[in-house]
Amino acid sequence: MIIRKSFKIEGSHIVRNCSTYRCSHSIHGHSGIVEVMLEADQLDKAGMVVDFGLLKGPVRDVIDSFDHAYSLWAKESKEYKEFIKKYSDRWIEMPCSPTAEFYAVMFYAIIKRIIERTAFNNGESPSIRVHSVRYHETDTGYAEAFESDYWNIWNRSYKIEDIIFSSE
């Protein structure tokens, strides 16, 4: 069975090297939605894959770090990174380009680690896993990451420890 929990964030970025000039040269924002799909082979004592309340802690907190924050690609120039960090209290420096595709696979990697390190105590299935993560950049477009994307895209080149969060 699969369950879904949705989170809303407002954020901004520049997507360097993309085909659209406007997106690659101008700061712009999105009302994003992060959908987390969890999967298990059996239900817990309450008849749930996992209590949604458990997702209100570390999973929500990580996603909320991106709310009203500027997503900064680590490969930006030193001067630009210094400018953003000086004039914005909320920013995240990411080891990957801040595209919908990378948001999806990055959130997948982070949430996978959280789920794997969570001590469940209500008879939850030992097979609880992240089925997929969708990042809706707009009302009409999203990217969805699966386990294979984690291994083929994220795990080959990136590490969660390379994500730097501002103190805010």
Residues assigned a catalytic role: 23, 68, 137
H helix count then E strand count, the chain: 6, 7
Residue type, 143: A
Tokens (6 digits) for 158: 């990136």
Please give the sequence-ordered ranges of beta strands (E in DSSP) within the chain, or none if there are none: 2-13, 28-39, 69-73, 91-94, 129-136, 142-146, 164-165
Tokens (6 digits) for 17: 């090297």
Please give the Cα distance from 120 to 145 (Å, whole number): 24
Cβ burial of 148 (10 Å; 0-12, 13-18, 19+) is exposed
**Which residues partner with 69 through β-bridges?**
11
